[in-house]
Chain A
Amino acid sequence: MDVDLVERAQRGDKLAFSLLAGAIADRFLAVARRILRDQDLAEDATQQALLAIWQNLPQLRDPGRFEAWSYRLLVHACYSEGRKERRWMPNLRLLPVEGAAATDDLSSVVDREQLERGFRRLSIDHRAVVVLYHYLDKPLDEIASILEIPVGTAHSRLHHAMRGLRAALEADLRPTAREAS
């Protein structure tokens, strides 16, 4: 991230902020959507996070840490949106079989469905770690820094989340076998 742009935005330069926000907005929406599993909530969280960045930028002491700080605000916004009393709608968008075949590893629509269900059963805490680790490829020490938790906690959250997802996939084996027979 361009530190000069961050510093200009810190001083209230709206053009600099618009460039900064433009560079991160798509990624933010993608991360929020993956954590929240809901398009509307993800859009609200992204908007909330971008505004919080603008508001609080002057107080960021080290512009070089903008990226981690901004992700922290995004995850914070996801917590906030996740707490809203909006019932999760079963809006699973199952891809057609042709689409699924295009992805080497994710060969089954059922896998998708089970992962979606398993993921939704996780807390926002656990989802955030999974998304930061598997989607953004952040190392665990950086995730710990973003979430302000010990590295050990980040590690155990990831482990717990993956165990939950594995259980969701394994639970699927029996119905699949029945369908196949």
Chain B
Amino acid sequence: MSQERDVTRLVRSWIREDQHESADRILGVVLDRLDTTPQRRSWWPARRSNGMNGFVKLIAGAAAVLLVAVVGYQFLPRGGGIGGEPTLEPSPSPSVLARGTFTAKGAPVEIDATREGDSVSGTMTVGDNGDTVFAVDLNCAQAAEDGRILIAGDATESNGDWVKKGDFTAIILKPGSPVHAVYAFGSDASSATTCSSFLEGIIDQRFTTVIGDGALEPIQGTVELGP
């Protein structure tokens, strides 16, 4: 135990050794760059409202149960079994990567992304009270080891000052109940030259991105995520 304390004391001593370093030069560089570095204005309200009352929750819950029942019914086998009609092998077709309308980090999102083999296609629009803030032509995706799904593409439209037209833009979705999401923009992996390398650049970022307060947050609404 005393050996343990000795190591701790040595480490604390060593790490606290005074280096007498001043960051004045760095501060000067940063302040010089403020004029050319726009702030990223948030489009979401400062605080999310908890406006959903009990009755609305009940209705939403009932609707979700009904939706699951209807969708489940569609998948029930029909006329199969011994002596029934032979079923055809499904032909290869695009599978859903992410599809839905929801609110992520306070912004309404509409996404429809599919995968066919290695090819990814689809669109995502992120809006603000009916106005499109940015739209993305989705063309690459990657799954992280922790289950996150990263889908990215080029911004084809942008009214905000944090996304420029042509910038790589991604949404990162973490499956769960609820699904969590966050966005990433070109500056999060500024050296990327392709959509895939952009995803490579952000996939290991511990904080996903510095957007908002930097974290995956639960979405409001639903999104269908593919395998």
B13 and A105 contact, CB distance less than 8 A: yes
B27 within 8 A of A: yes
B42 and A59 contact, CB distance less than 8 A: yes
A120 within 8 A of B: no
B23 within 8 A of A: yes
B21 touches which one: A26, A56, A105 (CB < 8 A)?
A26
| Contact digits for A79-93, partner B, Cβ 8 Å, 1 yes 0 no | 110010000000000
Please list the residues of chain A having a beta carbon within 8 angstroms of any beta carbon in chain B: 12, 14, 17-18, 21-22, 25-26, 28-30, 33-34, 39, 43, 46-47, 50-52, 54-62, 65, 69, 72-73, 75-76, 79-80, 83, 95, 103-106, 111-112, 115, 125, 130-131, 134-135, 147-148, 162, 165-166, 169
Residue of B3, B38, B40 most packed against chain A (CB within 10 A): B40
Tell me the number of A-to-B contacts counted with CB atoms below 8 Å: 137
A104 and B13 contact, CB distance less than 8 A: yes
Q: Which of B26-51 contact A (CB under 8 A)?
A: 26-27, 29-31, 33-34, 37-42, 46-47
B214 and A135 contact, CB distance less than 8 A: no
A55 touches which one: B17, B40, B47, B214 (CB < 8 A)?
B40
Bound: A118/B26 CA distance, A: 29
Bound: A28/B21 CA distance, A: 11
Q: Which residues of A lie under 8 Å from residue B85 when comparing CB positions?
A: none
- Please give the distance in Å from B170's CB to the nearest CB on chain A: 16
What are 10 contact pairs spanning A and B, CB under 8 A?
A: A43-B23, A46-B26, A51-B37, A55-B40, A73-B210, A83-B204, A130-B15, A135-B16, A162-B7, A166-B4
A169 and B26 contact, CB distance less than 8 A: no
The 6 closest A-B CB pairs, nearest first, are A25-B23, A105-B13, A29-B23, A106-B13, A59-B42, A50-B30
- Please give the distance in Å from B36's CB to the nearest CB on chain A: 10
Bound: A69/B40 CA distance, A: 16
Count of chain B residues with a beta carbon within 8 Å of a chain A beta carbon? 45
B21 and A33 contact, CB distance less than 8 A: yes
Where chain A touches its partner, the secondary structure class is helix
B89 within 8 A of A: no
A134 and B15 contact, CB distance less than 8 A: yes
Bound: A26/B29 CA distance, A: 14
A103 touches which one: B13, B29, B46 (CB < 8 A)?
B13
B10 and A105 contact, CB distance less than 8 A: yes
Take A65-B213, A134-B11 as given contacts and tell me if A58 and B42 are in contact as well, using a CB distance cutoff of 8 Å: yes
B14 and A25 contact, CB distance less than 8 A: no
Q: Which residues of B lie under 8 Å from residue A125 when comparing CB positions?
A: 206
15 more contacts with CB within 8 A, not counting A25-B23, A46-B26, A103-B13, are: A18-B27, A29-B26, A39-B21, A55-B210, A57-B39, A58-B40, A69-B214, A73-B210, A73-B214, A111-B10, A130-B15, A131-B15, A148-B207, A148-B215, A162-B8
A79 and B206 contact, CB distance less than 8 A: yes
B22 within 8 A of A: yes
B11 and A148 contact, CB distance less than 8 A: no
Q: Which residues of B lie under 8 Å from residue A39 when comparing CB positions?
A: 21
B177 within 8 A of A: no
Bound: A18/B30 CA distance, A: 9
Chain B residue with the shortest CB-CB distance to A59: B42
Q: Which residues of B lie under 8 Å from residue A14 when comparing CB positions?
A: 31, 34
Q: Which residues of B lie under 8 Å from residue A95 when comparing CB positions?
A: 17
Take A21-B30, A26-B21, A76-B207 as given contacts and tell me if A55 and B39 are in contact as well, using a CB distance cutoff of 8 Å: yes
B78 within 8 A of A: no
Bound: A72/B213 CA distance, A: 10
Bound: A104/B211 CA distance, A: 44
A55 and B207 contact, CB distance less than 8 A: no
Q: Which of B127-174 contact A (CB under 8 A)?
A: 162
Take A29-B21, A46-B26 as given contacts and tell me if A115 and B8 are in contact as well, using a CB distance cutoff of 8 Å: no
